[in-house]
Structure 1
Amino acid sequence: MKFYIFIVVLIISTTGFAQKSVKQSQVVKLATKADTLQYAEGVATGQWMVKNNFEVKNANLFLKGMEDVLQKKALAVNDSIIRKTINEYQLSTQIEKSKLQEEQLFATLKGKTGVGVLPNGVNYIIRRQGDGVRPSAKSTVVINAVGVLPDGAIFEDTYKKKQPITIAIGSLIPGLNEAVQLMPVGSVWRIFIPSVLGYGEKGLQNVVPPYSALVFDIELLEIK
């Protein structure tokens, strides 16, 4: 059986895959499972590149690199340089993305009704105000926490784990340290933390990217 699939042929320009300029439509005939596999491999490679924010700014060099690997030719650079170059590119694009998301997040909060701002730049929304005592800088507290990145990815959820955190105020990241001291026991606050008061330029490996703003829903359950 023959499968006829219409695909879009992209212009690989100086703006890379992100621009996705359409040149023309072309019929690709996938007559066998082997043909379909080859096409699927190409699609998977392209999808991976788009997902990881890679661009093709020099089509000749890109295709030459692919050809050298597929035909098992000698590479123009050694593997260590390739890995280093890719890692540096991914880090730089992630940093740009994080900084833009942080800027957009705090721009949407600016002047918004119900949003409080602390002197250190932390923003907060009181979702429920408790009537208990407030912790001090030397307190140990029991909290529920949901931590979210600006893109909506959840990296912490004690409700899901069904296990609140017991932690010294002094061990909290700077943005939470000050905010939690203002919360009476029983309160639930949504706290927006600039990257400099979160995990900063290093991030939290495999959890929080470098320079990422953070959003926490914090429920203060108890002071030990």
Structure 2
Amino acid sequence: MRFLSLALIAVLLVSCNKQGVTNKPLQTEIDSVSYAIGMDVAKNVKTSFDEFDNDLFIQGFMNVTDSVDMQIDAEKAQQIIRAFFQKKQKEELAKKQEKAKANKEEGEKFLAENKDKDGVVTTESGLQYIVLKEGTGAIPTTTDRVKVHYHGTLLDGTVFDSSVDRGTPAEFGVTQVIKGWTEGLQLMKEGAKYKFFIPSNLAYGSNPRPGGKIEANSTLIFDVELLEILK
């Protein structure tokens, strides 16, 4: 509630600025802090509200300040605010669940069609792969660390991670990655390059990393080159 009050004050200040308040230069530390807080609050207001009535906000703000003509009491106001954000949270959750269901169906359809294409091998777990280049070295085990180059995309071609684009190979333990990778790496010999088609249950499932491009139940595609088994 305290944050929401700050957010609404920011709206009031914006409204006042439109009425002729001049922009002040940043001269002191508190000037800079004040301006930075305003920026941060404004960003969160834009995230929280698709539409907002500035006039009614100002009316409510002034009614409380003057203690006159309040259309609802303080307790009712808090109830309205809580109900609004609870409703918003439920709507966002429903959208995420709907998108996760669509991603799962899209992935299942893609893999069902992909398995019959030339060169595609499907393992018992559901992992699919194509051998782009065979290797001649050793095969890694679960106790090994490996150095690899990889390029990861979603089904629509969106790149979400790529050591190739960064220009620097990645190093990690065979069991320190998603299940599809752990299984796939143990099919490869040093020097090999494979393309993996990884079902969501062998990738990040319904809990992808927050804030990334990978959504819940996404099927992932990786080009993986096993450069070296590290000792």
Query: TM-score over 0.5 for the alignment?
Result: yes
Deviation at 1:76, TM superposition (A): 9.2
User: Structure 2: which amino acid aligns with 1:173?
Assistant: I
Distance 1:214 1:67 in 2: 36
Structure with higher Rg: it is 2
Distance 1:213 1:195 in 2: 5
Deviation at 1:67, TM superposition (A): 8.6
Q: Does 1:214 align with 2:220?
A: yes
**TM-score normalised by structure 1 residue count:** 0.65
Relative to 1, partners in 2 of residues 1:147 and 1:77: Cα closer, same or farther, differing over 3 Å? Answer: same
User: Structure 2: which amino acid aligns with 1:198?
Assistant: A
Match of 1:102?
107
Deviation at 1:68, TM superposition (A): 7.7
Deviation at 1:71, TM superposition (A): 6.5
Superposition CA RMSD, Å: 2.3
Of 120, 130, 139, the residue aligned with 1:134 is 139
Match of 1:117?
122
User: Structure 1: which amino acid aligns with 2:183?
Assistant: E
Quick check: 95-104 or 122-131, which moved more?
Answer: 95-104
Contact 1:204 1:210 in 2 (8 A): no
Contact 1:129 1:188 in 2 (8 A): yes
Relative to 1, partners in 2 of residues 1:72 and 1:86: Cα closer, same or farther, differing over 3 Å? Answer: farther
Structure showing the higher strand proportion among its residues: 1
Contact 1:148 1:156 in 2 (8 A): yes
Q: What are the superposed Cα offsets for residues 184-215 of structure 1, whole Å, 9 maximum, x if unpaired?
A: 11111000111111111111212221111111
Alignment of 1:51-130 (within 5 A): 69=53, 72=56, 78-130=83-135
Distance 2:53 2:112 in 1: 45
Contact 1:147 1:214 in 2 (8 A): yes
SS in 2 for 1:81: helix
Number of residues of Structure 1 aligned to a counterpart in Structure 2: 160
Deviation at 1:69, TM superposition (A): 4.4
Match of 2:38?
none
Distance 1:76 1:222 in 2: 57
Relative to 1, partners in 2 of residues 1:68 and 1:215: Cα closer, same or farther, differing over 3 Å? Answer: closer
Distance 2:51 2:139 in 1: 64
Contact 2:153 2:159 in 1 (8 A): yes
Q: Identity of aligned pairs, percent?
A: 28
**TM-score normalised by structure 2 residue count:** 0.63
Deviation at 1:118, TM superposition (A): 1.0
Match of 2:163?
158
SS in 2 for 1:101: helix
Q: Give runs of ≥4 in structure 1 deviating > 2 Å.
A: 66-79
Q: Does 1:204 align with 2:209?
A: yes
Deviation at 1:145, TM superposition (A): 1.1
Deviation at 1:97, TM superposition (A): 2.3
Deviation at 1:82, TM superposition (A): 3.5
Structure showing the higher helix proportion among its residues: 2
User: Structure 2: which amino acid aligns with 1:151?
Assistant: D
Q: What are the superposed Cα offsets for residues 24-70 of structure 1, whole Å, 9 maximum, x if unpaired?
A: xxxxxxxxxxxxxxxxxxxxxxxxxxxxxxxxxxxxxxxxxx89847
